[in-house]
Amino acid sequence: MYYHDRRLQYPVTVEKPDPAFARMLQQAIGGVEGEIRVCMQYFFQAWGNRAPTPKYRDMLLHTATEEIGHIEMLATAVALNLETAPASLQEEGAGDGIVGAVMGGGNARHEIEGLIHKNLLSGGLAAMPMDSDGVPFNMSHIYASGNVAADMYCNVAAESTGRVLAVRLFNAAHDEGMRKMLHYMIARDTMHQQQWLAVLEELGGPSANLPIPNSFPQEMEDQANNYNFYATSVDGTFPEGRWTDGPTVDGHGEFTVFQNKPLGEEPILGPARPDSGAQDQQIG
Amino acid sequence: MYYHDRRLQYPVTVEKPDPAFARMLQQAIGGVEGEIRVCMQYFFQAWGNRAPTPKYRDMLLHTATEEIGHIEMLATAVALNLETAPASLQEEGAGDGIVGAVMGGGNARHEIEGLIHKNLLSGGLAAMPMDSDGVPFNMSHIYASGNVAADMYCNVAAESTGRVLAVRLFNAAHDEGMRKMLHYMIARDTMHQQQWLAVLEELGGPSANLPIPNSFPQEMEDQANNYNFYATSVDGTFPEGRWTDGPTVDGHGEFTVFQNKPLGEEPILGPARPDSGAQDQQIG
Amino acid sequence: MYYHDRRLQYPVTVEKPDPAFARMLQQAIGGVEGEIRVCMQYFFQAWGNRAPTPKYRDMLLHTATEEIGHIEMLATAVALNLETAPASLQEEGAGDGIVGAVMGGGNARHEIEGLIHKNLLSGGLAAMPMDSDGVPFNMSHIYASGNVAADMYCNVAAESTGRVLAVRLFNAAHDEGMRKMLHYMIARDTMHQQQWLAVLEELGGPSANLPIPNSFPQEMEDQANNYNFYATSVDGTFPEGRWTDGPTVDGHGEFTVFQNKPLGEEPILGPARPDSGAQDQQIG
Amino acid sequence: MYYHDRRLQYPVTVEKPDPAFARMLQQAIGGVEGEIRVCMQYFFQAWGNRAPTPKYRDMLLHTATEEIGHIEMLATAVALNLETAPASLQEEGAGDGIVGAVMGGGNARHEIEGLIHKNLLSGGLAAMPMDSDGVPFNMSHIYASGNVAADMYCNVAAESTGRVLAVRLFNAAHDEGMRKMLHYMIARDTMHQQQWLAVLEELGGPSANLPIPNSFPQEMEDQANNYNFYATSVDGTFPEGRWTDGPTVDGHGEFTVFQNKPLGEEPILGPARPDSGAQDQQIG
Amino acid sequence: MYYHDRRLQYPVTVEKPDPAFARMLQQAIGGVEGEIRVCMQYFFQAWGNRAPTPKYRDMLLHTATEEIGHIEMLATAVALNLETAPASLQEEGAGDGIVGAVMGGGNARHEIEGLIHKNLLSGGLAAMPMDSDGVPFNMSHIYASGNVAADMYCNVAAESTGRVLAVRLFNAAHDEGMRKMLHYMIARDTMHQQQWLAVLEELGGPSANLPIPNSFPQEMEDQANNYNFYATSVDGTFPEGRWTDGPTVDGHGEFTVFQNKPLGEEPILGPARPDSGAQDQQIG
Amino acid sequence: MYYHDRRLQYPVTVEKPDPAFARMLQQAIGGVEGEIRVCMQYFFQAWGNRAPTPKYRDMLLHTATEEIGHIEMLATAVALNLETAPASLQEEGAGDGIVGAVMGGGNARHEIEGLIHKNLLSGGLAAMPMDSDGVPFNMSHIYASGNVAADMYCNVAAESTGRVLAVRLFNAAHDEGMRKMLHYMIARDTMHQQQWLAVLEELGGPSANLPIPNSFPQEMEDQANNYNFYATSVDGTFPEGRWTDGPTVDGHGEFTVFQNKPLGEEPILGPARPDSGAQDQQIG
């Protein structure tokens, strides 16, 4: 169960509100690389964790709980950046100092409204659980497979795309307060990349973990096709690299190359059933 | 651009059709761990690849093209397993030998129809691009970030959850033909886990790649918060592990522990604007 | 069953077409607060209504049918506002009087196209069943629970957010015809808020209806936890209000405050099953 | 920001695991009436709250934080009910005592697998953020409008449909532990219904709050159409009730009835533009 | 604008309620081939129709309005088929005559609940705007392109898949009342297929309408690639048919065959930008 | 199974990158009329094709394979148009020659970023499988019904809306390279419209194919309601046309007109069940 503190994890300040930047921040809230995703992913991994000891359940709860605070920071940042967004016709005029300064004047109203549609119309100038294009977050992006190594790679992937996004937002940020907040979130993403890789190392590293799942006897998979790169180009060329020869990363085999060709036959499904809603011509 | 061969990548045979298993196979077609996902993910990573050389674009095209053949195999397997699914009332009777044999008789019709609803009603006893619960695949699961290392971890994650799924399907399979097909697909997932990890190794491994993106100067992130585990439990306890002390995985720092507390203040958004559709009581 | 009249429920005129406003109006068509939602919500509540008399089924049909006419008005308004949206390159020039006047000239083409993408590319300068960010309406927003009191509160909620949206659109409208149309729709939302609250009053008001569902014997719920506010702050503070002491709104109890603490234990799921696709380390 | 305790809010025990009931519980996790919805709805309402004082922000945070613990309880309950779900072919046999006992034997495997598809294949016998049909939760269901009264009605609606769902689950529950957990959750829903209604009362009740938003001058809405019930039946009949005559619930008017007829004309959009991708026949 | 009649378009009766069939009927309500789809598709085509005369707008309104009555019939049929669905544990026993009779007894409860999850838990034993797998209807399936010929083909497609579905439901129906209702709906689908094809004929048939849109000067399209079948098989074989030689259907050309080969070069995107969040290795 | 060639199907060049046009092109990749849709639709129709001969399976594979190359061309075009999109604050200045030239200077940064949000933030200046409003492609748009005639009409519909879209993009294109690419894609859409209509002709044309499915004995449908236009206007007027009298398109009947009226009665669902979570007032 959970507790809260009214204060924020880290300071969130905005000197010069920027509605366009508010919309960009939405990607870090409800984008597939965003904070709702990692928060809920770690929670569901924790709550469904099956293991001899509750150690990883525990650890995941710590970080999932931390992530709620990140969504909160970003939601606050969005709201602060929308402080001066126009809500009515009257503000379009020359008198609207801040909007004019931020946006360059002229056709500011349409431009801003076009950028923040739902934040204004549906959210009332606040953050919403959606991405920068207004697409609501879809919870199918919560990866929790029941396999701890697969989950850790999902987490590294999430924190890698997450930090890439945070860096892009940092690069696009005008405001010193926003850059400060983002330089903190970038740092936390660095730690979380490390954290999940540390679990994989603690579990024994590539040779122990791979292939995932390691509980399936590897001799039951097709031994002729588990370490060969399939070259599918019509001219038979392929790019050579670490994946075309030498020992495999798990140390269980050697990389080779297979010039792809069909190993099966043309499938024949045969005529449709008379009562299946097909055309007569298919029933034959 | 692309070519096809009418034959299958690997043999797909079904001796004893099983509509329930057909539905389970749908997860490997249109589930978030399925083959449409990896196929399209590798294609979009290839098509958007920016790099000094086209080497990774090339490699991704080989494997993306291979994956089309995997979707094809699974779609064929679904269709073959639905060969005897009932399409009409008349088959419910005792005379329906195969369904009776497969399902145990009795209330077979409802059970099967409940399992395969859309495959029958909408797809006409064929595969559809949806998961085992009938949820259509949503293309937001195609992760292609523009950062090659982040993409590779996304790919390892996809092939890890993909092989976990394939193993579960193998464990649930009755039919020898289906187990044969799956033992091949499990092998290909093994290779693809290796392949993406091999790229990461070729790029220099953890110390060179991390944190992702490595193009952001690490001194610009918050140095006080990039390698410390945040303990968020109210009683101050936390699980010790590879992530709480010792050198970090990237070799750039040392893990420490931070007893979490607010570093920011309570945020004050202030009253709503008069024209923002709020209640009078909020405008103050 | 249903009939139509070619004429509109209320006049819809646009003197000065405004593509950006067309996009904003989309929120009232296909947004979660929009008219498709209330129309279909009232229909499904009516069609599934179970009660001793068909009275509420009847009433819901009247209002659902009215709402079709509201979607029609808004769709017409969108089409009229898109009359002069640019469909080709050639119009970008100085000669395009109306667009120039509306948008302020200059980089008008990109701005407009960026605002109305799908209305132009997919809808051919007409309304579409999507919101102002182009997200298609998802029918999971049709709340029809089979409980008439719950449904009425869902309807009050829908008409409240709906009128908030209509007011925001009114505040953003340039055109006199649009303001006229919206001042009518705002009025209808006022009536509908009243209408659903009137049903709740007719059903006996809070003391008779609450808690919803009132058909579950209240003595079977946890009597120790049904009227206490849970304070979850780490420092034990909480905001006092109508919900922390005094009689409850239903008159069945007294509000109290509970300093939240765990009433359960740490859950132990134990090791994973050997055949479940977990890692060996989880199986223990 | 946030803290956690490893222990559960309330005891969650399962004596006789029931995979089918696990699937039903999913509705309370990721259904539109479920706990993710209320948790995130209260958080986003809090984080975006604009008001002269932070009182409602505070209160919302208390209850949002409480709700995380409810998701956790349900996720734990799902995992416990899936303890004996079959993960492989081998368990289908007569020897599987527990499954046999729970499900009545016979064709148990297909039945169970058909019920829990994704929980097994994708989640590894754990809870997932989806509903009882396997549809992932879509965050567009987080209603946070920026208007406190509209939000409170959204919350009453959510807790009403939520308690209806909890009662249905209670009625369907076999297990004493599950009934105990649900009798607690039903009680919390009772409180939360009261809590949001208490806010509305504190804000002044119907006469002060209505119509929502009350910040729009009511004289600007169409005074001829804001308190009349529209009768849309072709025969002119309509159901009489609290909504057809007498004072309105807000006390601002009198209910009347309007026999619906068109107040506008047939809309004429005219021919399509030559460059708009229409057919020649439309361009005229 | 619109009117209603409390009576149904056509009789809907159910002698022997069948919850499993109720779920199948959901496909005809909220499936992509269902009645919500055609109803809303015809409405949006009508409301956005641009043409010299309102003739097609008119006609579309007639049929769209008819379709509301079809959704109503199906929603009623679902509710009637759920009359005896179990809502509580107590009904599982031998005493539940009707369910026993319908389902064959034994483990009926789980089976039924597994089939109708959301209709019970969320809808209270009524129809919902979702398909037979519980996936909510997504309004992106409303095709209204602004081109009348394209729209007519979309409508023929919708009524073709719709009639295929209705036939499958007819074939699966037990109940005489349900077969009667479906034999009516199948007939209406027959008419609607004819109706949209009649419009295409009235517009001049293939030679006048094709290619769609016919307002784009055909000489501006690539004359070398507009009537040749691309053979993409690696071995150069292809299936001969009406599409490989002879005059084209529009009479504007002759079919030929092109052995596919690349007409373009390998695309080179070049290195990533330094500030784009890529890896250093991509920036080069 | 499949092969690839690194080269493109047709040349894709961009002289003057235009980020706004890149976003518009997204509609042709991940819009409902886009290339992912037709590619996957033809594949799933092929893989599930049941017929006496594999002829149509073969033909569909040829064209599905061709379409992969179209997605590739468009993805390349998007990436090339995003070459100069701003990724950081620094480029906003006057020095940014290309952006300034393209966009007209001034507030270019916000405008562009508003147009391409996710392509920048999530995709790293590359194409993504989503439409021009950033909505990810949803695979429920893959129509493959198991009925070959229904499928062919779905394909004609897809290629008709697809060519309409391509023409709109051509009309909006600045760049000569883009117009060249589009004039090729428009031509291929012309061919594909012909191709699917040719199949329908080969299958015997309207009289043989209709009504779809033709395998359901037409005498089993309601003979009184299969060729009459339902007039639903309250005043009894209706638009006369090819659909109101004369022989039907299939030649099986004569069109007539039916003044719509209810053929059924008011449906009575009756009171709710005591244990169904309804209100007491509904149980009666």
Q: How far apart are CA D260 and CA D230, in angstroms?
A: 6
Q: What proportion of chain B, given as a percentage, has pLDDT over 90?
A: 86
What tokens were used for F61? 């594979």
Q: Which of B170, B194, B279 has the highest number of chain A CBs within 10 A, making it the mutation to test binding with A?
A: B194
Q: Report the pLDDT value the prediction gives residue F98, as an integer from 0 to 100.
A: 31
- Report pLDDT digits (tens) over D164-204: 999 999 999 989 999 999 999 999 999 999 999 999 999 99
Least confident of A97-111, A218-232, F254-268: A97-111
- Report pLDDT digits (tens) over B189-207: 999 999 999 999 999 999 9
Task: State yes or no: C192 annotated in a binding site.
Answer: yes
**C-alpha distance from residue F146 to each of B52, B111, F51 (Å):** 47, 22, 10
Beta strands in chain E (DSSP E): 2-4, 228-231, 256-259
F54 to chain C, closest Cα gap in Å: 35
What tokens were used for D219? 């004289």
Q: How far apart are CA B139 and CA B136, in angstroms?
A: 9
On chain F, the residues whose CB falls within 8 A of the CB of D275 are 171
Cβ(E132)–Cβ(E22) below 8 Å: no
D171 to chain F, closest Cα gap in Å: 7
* F4 domain-assigned: no
Q: Residue C128, SS3?
A: coil
Q: Does one domain contain both B104 and B27?
A: yes
CA atoms within 13 A on the CB side of E105: 5
Q: How many CB atoms lie within 10 A of CB F100?
A: 16
Does the beta-carbon distance from D2 to A65 stay under 8 Å? Answer: yes
Does the beta-carbon distance from D171 to F234 stay under 8 Å? Answer: no
Q: Report the pLDDT value the prediction gives residue A96, as an integer from 0 to 100.
A: 37
What tokens were used for C43? 């229909």
Q: For CA atoms D185, D190, D191, D193, give the dihedral sign.
A: positive
Q: Measure CB to CB from residue E161 to each of F7, F145, F272 and give the nearest one.
A: F145
* A84 domain-assigned: yes
Q: Measure CB to CB from residue D4 to each of A65, A127, A130 and give the nearest one.
A: A65
Q: Does one domain contain both E133 and E23?
A: yes
Does the beta-carbon distance from A183 to B222 stay under 8 Å? Answer: yes
Q: Does one domain contain both D114 and D236?
A: no
Cβ(B139)–Cβ(B40) below 8 Å: yes
Work out the mean pLDDT of chain D and round it to a whole number. 91
10-residue mean pLDDT profile of chain B (284 residues): values are: 98 94 96 98 98 96 98 98 66 35 42 78 96 97 98 98 97 95 98 98 96 97 98 96 97 97 95 93 90
Q: Report the pLDDT value the prediction gives residue C111, as an integer from 0 to 100.
A: 59
- Report pLDDT digits (tens) over F54-92: 999 999 999 999 999 999 999 999 999 998 766 553 444
Does the beta-carbon distance from A215 to C283 stay under 8 Å? Answer: yes
- Report pLDDT digits (tens) over A6-19: 999 999 999 999 99
Task: State yes or no: F35 annotated in a binding site.
Answer: yes
Q: Does one domain contain both E109 and E150?
A: yes
* D115 domain-assigned: yes
User: Which chains would you list as touching A if contact means 3+ CB atom pairs under 8 Å?
Assistant: B, C, D, E, F
Q: Does one domain contain both E136 and E227?
A: no
Q: Report the pLDDT value the prediction gives residue A114, as an integer from 0 to 100.
A: 67
User: Which chains would you list as touching C if contact means 3+ CB atom pairs under 8 Å?
Assistant: A, B, D, E, F
Q: Does one domain contain both D194 and D232?
A: no
Q: Write out residues in chain C with pLDDT < 70, as ranges.
A: 85-114
On chain F, the residues whose CB falls within 8 A of the CB of C134 are 131-135
* D30 domain-assigned: yes
On chain E, the residues whose CB falls within 8 A of the CB of A261 are none
**C-alpha distance from residue A36 to each of B236, D28, D46 (Å):** 25, 19, 16
Domain that holds residue D239: 218-259
A94 to chain C, closest Cα gap in Å: 14
Does the beta-carbon distance from A61 to D1 stay under 8 Å? Answer: no
Q: Does one domain contain both E134 and E74?
A: yes
What tokens were used for E241? 């048919």
Q: Report the pLDDT value the prediction gives residue E95, as an integer from 0 to 100.
A: 34
Q: Does one domain contain both A61 and A199?
A: yes
Q: Does one domain contain both D28 and D159?
A: yes
Q: Report the pLDDT value the prediction gives residue E111, as an integer from 0 to 100.
A: 58
On chain B, the residues whose CB falls within 8 A of the CB of C168 are 276-277
D158 phi and psi, to 5 degrees?
-65, -40
Q: How far apart are CA D141 and CA F188, in angstroms?
A: 41
On chain E, the residues whose CB falls within 8 A of the CB of D165 are 121-122
E29 to chain D, closest Cα gap in Å: 17
Q: Report the pLDDT value the prediction gives residue B113, as an integer from 0 to 100.
A: 67
Q: Indicate which CATH number applies to the domain containing B98.
A: 1.20.1260.10
E63 to chain F, closest Cα gap in Å: 7
For chain F, the domain total comes to 2
In chain A, the N- to C-terminal Cα span, in Å, equals 63
* B82 domain-assigned: yes
Q: Report the pLDDT value the prediction gives residue B111, as an integer from 0 to 100.
A: 59
On chain A, the residues whose CB falls within 8 A of the CB of F118 are 27, 31, 131-133
User: Which chains would you list as touching D if contact means 3+ CB atom pairs under 8 Å?
Assistant: A, B, C, E, F
* A201 domain-assigned: yes
| Sole residue written with tokens 């780490």 | C234
Does the beta-carbon distance from F171 to D277 stay under 8 Å? Answer: yes
Q: Taking 70 as the threshold, does the pLDDT of residue A104 lie above it? A: no
A277 to chain E, closest Cα gap in Å: 5
A232 phi and psi, to 5 degrees?
-110, 10
Work out the mean pLDDT of chain F and round it to a whole number. 91
Q: How many CB pairs under 8 A join B and F?
A: 163
Q: Report the pLDDT value the prediction gives residue D10, as an integer from 0 to 100.
A: 98
Those residues whose C-beta lies under 8 Å from the C-beta of residue B160, and which sit 6 or more positions away, are A145, A147, A149, A150, A153, A154, A212, B193
Q: How far apart are CA C221 and CA D170, in angstroms?
A: 10
* D281 domain-assigned: no
Does the beta-carbon distance from D202 to C242 stay under 8 Å? Answer: yes
| Sole residue written with tokens 């690696």 | E234
Q: Measure CB to CB from residue D277 to each of F164, F275, F276 and give the nearest one.
A: F164
Q: Does one domain contain both F252 and F131?
A: no
Selection from E44, D132, F95 nearest residue C79 by Cα: E44
> What pTM did the predictor assign?
0.95
Q: Which residue of E has its CA nearest to A172?
A: E275
Q: Does one domain contain both B231 and B98?
A: no
Q: Taking 50 as the threshold, does the pLDDT of residue F15 lie above it? A: yes
Task: State yes or no: E67 annotated in a binding site.
Answer: yes
DSSP-assigned letters across all residues of C55-124: HHHHHHHHHHHHHHHHHHHHHHHHHHHTTT---SGGGGSTT-HHHHHHH-SSSHHHHHHHHHHHHHHTTS
Q: Report the pLDDT value the prediction gives residue C102, as an integer from 0 to 100.
A: 32
What tokens were used for C255? 């509000």
- Report pLDDT digits (tens) over C195-207: 999 999 999 999 9
Looking at E180, E206, E232, which one is the last position of a domain? E206
Q: How far apart are CA B24 and CA F151, in angstroms?
A: 25
On chain D, the residues whose CB falls within 8 A of the CB of A129 are 40, 44, 139, 142
What tokens were used for B148? 């090659």
Cβ(D200)–Cβ(D191) below 8 Å: no
B53 to chain C, closest Cα gap in Å: 33
Q: Write out residues in chain E with pLDDT < 50, as ranges.
A: 89-107
Q: Measure CB to CB from residue D114 to each of B33, B115, B168 and give the nearest one.
A: B115
Interior/surface letters B88-101, b for 16+ CB within 10 angstroms, e for the rest? beebbeeebeebbe
Cβ(F143)–Cβ(E32) below 8 Å: yes
Q: Which residue of A has its CA nearest to C230?
A: A3
* F270 domain-assigned: no
- Please, which pLDDT band fits residue D115 given cuts at 50, 70 and 90? confident
Q: Report the pLDDT value the prediction gives residue D107, as an integer from 0 to 100.
A: 46
C4 phi and psi, to 5 degrees?
-135, 160
Q: Report the pLDDT value the prediction gives residue F62, as an integer from 0 to 100.
A: 98
Q: Taking 70 as the threshold, does the pLDDT of residue F97 lie above it? A: no
Work out the mean pLDDT of chain B and round it to a whole number. 91
C78 phi and psi, to 5 degrees?
-60, -50
Q: Taking 80 as the threshold, does the pLDDT of residue A113 lie above it? A: no
C-alpha triplet A146, A152, A155: angle, nearest 5°: 110
- Please, which pLDDT band fits residue F207 given cuts at 50, 70 and 90? very high
User: Which chains would you list as touching B if contact means 3+ CB atom pairs under 8 Å?
Assistant: A, C, D, E, F
E88, with CB counted inside 10 A (0-12, 13-18, 19+), is middle
F258 phi and psi, to 5 degrees?
-120, 120
Q: How far apart are CA D6 and CA A1, in angstroms?
A: 7
D47 to chain C, closest Cα gap in Å: 16
C-alpha triplet E175, E176, E177: angle, nearest 5°: 90
Work out the mean pLDDT of chain A and round it to a whole number. 91
- Report pLDDT digits (tens) over E221-249: 999 999 999 999 999 999 999 999 999 99
Does the beta-carbon distance from E44 to C127 stay under 8 Å? Answer: yes
Q: Measure CB to CB from residue A171 to each of E165, E171, E275 and give the nearest one.
A: E275
Q: Does one domain contain both A164 and A187?
A: yes
On chain B, the residues whose CB falls within 8 A of the CB of D201 are none
Does the beta-carbon distance from A284 to F121 stay under 8 Å? Answer: no
Residue E185 per-residue DSSP state: H
